[in-house]
Structure 1
């Protein structure tokens, strides 16, 4: 086990160093921007994986925390000026707002089970979306508004390194979080909440903590996303954002943290290249249909995600058992 953990750490370190070096050996502005977007959405997907993969919570309202972060940063920078100090302050404000909202949303909704909880989170997210549309004096409604980012971020390389640094920091924090005693309780809640409660754990408290942590990191992703575009509108709170996070998590591998990062890369790259092909080949003008087919194929051939598929192959080659997150739990062994 220690050898596997050591190997995993070595692989993570090599990948992190490669991504760190990449912009210095490549002058491709397109790839720099694309990788930055992948880093941002990977943070969002990892925050969703904490809910879905480690706590067993299916939320359809995760976009509201992403939107809280985006609007916090956009409004603060637009109102007080594009300085690095106000950028950091805007992230802190997003953290606080997301934590408060996720706490009260968790208290109100996490007593519900299954689809009842999912539908209520969707309704609450819809309320925040309507508020953003109607509060035009602050958000400018559907039209949105542009703002200036701190001058240091005019260099895309700096923002690339910031996004990569945030991704690495969030990954390390969540990895330690899910490996802690609290993380073990969350996994126990995912597996059997009633049995966990019978052991004396107040499961609602643990689920609320997971909701708050996930909401805070989703707001960080929203803040970075807003700065990357220098623009924010109500699209940051739409259901599309939540579905993207959900699909990134499922395609990459639920309950792995690494999987959502891979899923973010697959989806962002697929969107980029399929939309690019539409400019040259008319058949790809309806690229969103092909994108849907890609999802279906991925789910058919990788039902437990990319990471789950790799683990299954490794298990068959070595004869070792592999644990599967989520409701479809199987132990794969060499026959």
Structure 2
């Protein structure tokens, strides 16, 4: 019963309702901006979890798709000076991400494990170099200093609800993907790729589809990230952006989808809290060191991530209770 209760989505509904009430409880523009950032990074991390947690692919180049989305919106809106083209820009980003994912996947998914990771890292560095050198479009190292966005995005409350709806829709979409026969096949590939292939499945095709879906979701998150920041630079293609997605997924719980949302919230607020403390207390000037210690503590006490560990303990207690009741039932029969 407890395992079923944990899997029930009623608690997710309560979380969404609570988040919907935030703008009415607090008028802090800073808090709303922080939460918008959490929502967008959560979507980006969920897209990475589709690869890492459900397909068993470790990619060091996921930032490519996030950066494509960010620069697609930034370039189109800054060059045309037509803010209302934002949805066209995001559509272009999604199509571009699908094409790039198909090309990268076709070239790199034929190799496995660390070799694939190194190839994706090389592609990420290639896109980073292109974004720096193609200054006529990307602005070079300085990036695009100002991106004019539609006026309704300037209202933080409206943007907050758009970002929250985006997070909810992407979560439901990805959950539908992983719970479908396609998603079950991806999980089987993660567990035993050779066996799946021996059963007649085209493993490469499934991996390509997973990479394309993941890339498209990440591109949408990157596009809205540019809208939030109102500028874009080469940092969106930096290795740090992929590491962010990896850490948020691990901290929250790999293979849970909701875990990356928790991880995005924990890491974003911890980052902001520690950096603000460093301005008040000089001994915290090296606050990144404490940030690293926080990661170590989470990994030690939550080996499967925050949500993954809690879920396993909840199921274990529920299983123990069912086992005890079954034992008593058998004893009464005897």
User: TM-score, normalized by length of structure 1?
Assistant: 0.93
* Partner of residue 328, structure 1: none
* Partner of residue 128, structure 2: 129
* Partner of residue 160, structure 1: 160
Q: Which moved more, 1:143-152 or 1:91-100?
A: 143-152
Distance 1:81 1:159 in 2: 20
Distance 2:189 2:313 in 1: 28
Residue 288 of structure 1, CA deviation? 0.9
| Structure 1 contact 70–225 (Cα < 8 Å) conserved | yes
Residue 319 of structure 1, CA deviation? 2.3
Distance 2:53 2:181 in 1: 16
Could you report, residue by residue, the CA deviation over 1:266-311 in whole angstroms, capped at 9, with x for unpaired residues? 0001111001001101111111111111111111111100112102
Distance 1:118 1:189 in 2: 17
Question: How does 1:1-335 map onto structure 2 within 5 Å?
Answer: 4=4, 8-84=8-84, 86-145=85-144, 146-319=146-319
| Structure 2 contact 74–147 (Cα < 8 Å) conserved | yes
Distance 1:95 1:284 in 2: 41
Change in Cα spacing, 1:182 to 1:134, as seen in structure 2 (3 Å) is: same
- Structure 1 unmatched runs, 5+: 322-335
Structure label with greater radius of gyration:
2
* Partner of residue 326, structure 1: none
- Structure 2 unmatched runs, 5+: 322-334
3-state SS of 2:247 partner: helix
Structure (1/2) with the larger helix percentage: 2
Distance 1:70 1:180 in 2: 30
* Partner of residue 325, structure 1: none
Aligned pairs, number: 320
Distance 1:30 1:232 in 2: 20
Change in Cα spacing, 1:30 to 1:148, as seen in structure 2 (3 Å) is: same
User: TM-score, normalized by length of structure 2?
Assistant: 0.93
Distance 1:318 1:235 in 2: 46
